[in-house]
Amino acid sequence: MLNQSCLEDFGLIKEIDQQAAETISGGAQEVFTIKNKTSYNITYVLDGRSWLHKPDETWIWTATSGGTISFDKDSRADYNVNQDYDLSDGRIYEFQDNPSPGNPYDLELYSVG
């Protein structure tokens, strides 16, 4: 009991409990929202797993493996331009069309909140 009291005095008990919780849960969690504001399906990989996000859908994610997203920012079938982002806890993201004169099929993931 004396050892525990000494550890509490130094604030180590709380840190040990937090570390244990992260280990048990698989790591720190990040919660964020992704919306698809385009008129087409978007396939992306989030933390190593592939997902199909339909138009006008809003998904709230709880990521335990870093919150890394990878997607093809060129929606044409015969082109592949991968874009990677590390998404942040508490943020809201939207897939939106991002047309340019050279590529009317470009899309981007924007942080909107």
> pLDDT tens digits, residue range 17-67?
555 555 555 556 899 999 999 999 999 999 999 999 999 999 999 998 889
Spatial CB neighbours of 72, under 8 Å, sequence gap ≥ 6: 43, 79, 80, 81, 82, 83
CB atoms closer than 10 angstroms to residue 55: 13
Cα–Cα distance, 34 to 57 (Å, whole number): 8
Mean pLDDT lowest among 47-51, 60-64, 69-73, 79-83: 79-83
Please answer whether residues 107 and 98 qualify as being in contact, where contact means their C-beta atoms are separated by less than 8 angstroms: yes
Q: Which is more confident, 39 or 12?
A: 39
Q: What are the DSSP calls for 63-80, one per residue?
A: ESS--EEEEESB-STT--
- DSSP label at residue 106: B
- DSSP label at residue 15: H
Query: Which pLDDT score, from 0 to 100, does residue 104 have?
Result: 81
State the chain's mean pLDDT as an integer: 82
Two tokens, residue 103:
């590529």
Query: Which pLDDT score, from 0 to 100, does residue 93 have?
Result: 97
Q: Which is more confident, 27 or 113?
A: 113
Domain boundaries, the chain: 27-111
CATH architecture of structural domain 27-111: Sandwich (2.60)
